[in-house]
Structure 1
Amino acid sequence: MSADLAGAFKDAMAAVCTPVAVVTAMDGDRPHGTTVSAFASLSASPPSLLVSLDRGSDLLAVITVSGEFGVNILGHGQSELAGRFARKGADKFAGISWSGADRVPRLDGAPGWFACRVAQTVVAADHVLVVGEVYAVDTASAAPLTYHERVFGTHHVPA
C-alpha cells in the first residue's frame, strides 16, 4: 500500500465515530490490558463478539494462552483510563481499581463488561480477529466514551 493511500485510509477512518473499550486478560495472577476501538457484536446465538488486536500485541499472546478475555466498555469521563491502556508498558494496572470477575480483569466503573472464551481467531492483514463467546455480561446506563477525529468524546442525542 502506498503512503498516500495509507494516509488517506487513516484519515477516512478517523472520521468514523467508534466506541472505546479496554480488552483485558490474566497472565497467571498478573492482569494485562489494552485500549481498542475495533470491536463489535457478532452474534446473539450464542452471544459472541469480536476484537481486533495487532499480531505483535502482548495482550494477544496472553489471550492465546489463557483462552479467555474481558471487554470493558468505557464511559464518558474515562478518557484518561483509555489513554493509559493505549500506551505500552507493564504497569498499566498500577493504581487502577479492578477486580478478577469471572477470571478476567474487570475495570471498576466501566459501564459495560463482557467475559469471553476464545471461540476462534482469524489472521487478517497485520491483526488477529479474536472471536469471543460471552459467558458473563454486566451493563449500566451511561454516556459512552467515543473516539472520533483522533480525540475522545461522547455521543449526544440530537434535540
Structure 2
Amino acid sequence: MTHDHDHEIDPEVLQKEFRTAMGNVAAAVSVVTTFHDGAPHGTTVSAFSSLSMEPPMLLVSLDNRSKLLAKLQVGSSVGVNVLASHQDQVALRFAGKGDDKFLDVPWELDHGAPALAERHAWVALTVAQLVPAGDHTLVLGDVEAADASPNQALTYWQRAFGSHQSF
C-alpha cells in the first residue's frame, strides 16, 4: 500500500497503523528498576536497545506518565532486567499499577539498582541523559555492569508473550 503525500494524514489512522506495525516487531521484555527513597521501583518495558559499544550505553524509552521516570535524574542508578521466557507473570505484574510489585519476586541491589534474582540478562546503568521524545522520554544510560544466562528470553509479539525459536 502506498500513501499519497499530497493528502493530509489522519492522526488517528496513522497512530493505529503505527501501533499495528510495531506490534509486528518482536521485542525482548524487561523490567526496568531503580531504588528511590529506600524502596525498589520497577516497570515493564519492551522499548530498549543497545545504543553504543564504545562507551557501552543503553537506551530505554519510558512513558512520560511513568512513575519510574518521575524518580529518575541524571546520575540515577537503573537496572534493566531482561526477563526469561517463563516470566510472563512477572512482566504483567510490573506492567500494572500498585506498590507491591516486588512482593514474592526475589531481588538484590546490584550497582545501586534492584536486580531480579531470576532473569535472562542484566544491565546496570547510570543515567547519562534524559531526552524528551514525544509522549516518552529516552533514558540514555552508561553501562556499569552486565551479565547473561542461557535461559531463553521472553519476547512480546502481536500482543502476546512468547520466546524466540532458532532454526
Q: TM-score, structure 2 length as denominator?
A: 0.91
Aligned to 1:146: 155
Aligned to 2:165: 156
The 5-angstrom pairing of residues 13-92 of structure 1 reads 13-64=22-73, 67-92=76-101
Task: Choose which of 116, 130, 138 in structure 2 pairs with 1:121.
Answer: 130
Q: Displacement of 1:13 after TM fit?
A: 0.8
After TM superposition, where is structure 1 displaced by more than 4 Å over at least 4 residues in a row?
none
Q: Are 2:132 and 1:136 aligned? A: no
Q: Displacement of 1:153 after TM fit?
A: 0.2
CA contact 1:25–1:66 (8 Å) conserved in 2:
no
Q: Displacement of 1:66 after TM fit?
A: 6.3
| Seq. identity, % | 46
- The more displaced of 41-50 and 61-70 is 61-70
Tell me the distance in 2 between the aligned counterparts of 1:139 and 1:57.
Answer: 27
Q: Displacement of 1:56 after TM fit?
A: 1.4
Tell me the distance in 1 between the aligned counterparts of 2:97 and 2:49.
Answer: 23
> Which runs of 5 or more structure 2 residues have no equivalent in the other structure?
1-9
Tell me the distance in 1 between the aligned counterparts of 2:84 and 2:156.
Answer: 11
Q: Structure 2 vs 1, CA of residues 72 and 41 (structure 1 numbering), >3 Å: closer, same or farther? A: same
CA deviation profile, 1:91-145 (whole Å, cap 9, x unmatched): 1111211111221000111120011101111100010000000111121122110
From the CA coordinates, give the structure whose radius of gyration is larger.
Answer: 2
Task: Choose which of 10, 17, 30 in structure 2 pairs with 1:8.
Answer: 17
Which amino acid in 2 is paired with 1:118?
A: V
Task: Report how many residues are paired.
Answer: 158
Aligned to 2:3: none
**Larger helix proportion, structure 1 or 2?**
1
Which amino acid in 2 is paired with 1:13?
A: M
Tell me the distance in 1 between the aligned counterparts of 2:24 and 2:44.
Answer: 19
Tell me the distance in 2 between the aligned counterparts of 1:137 and 1:32.
Answer: 20
Tell me the distance in 1 between the aligned counterparts of 2:80 and 2:63.
Answer: 16
Q: Displacement of 1:65 after TM fit?
A: 7.3
Q: Are 2:90 and 1:103 aligned? A: no
Q: Displacement of 1:28 after TM fit?
A: 2.4
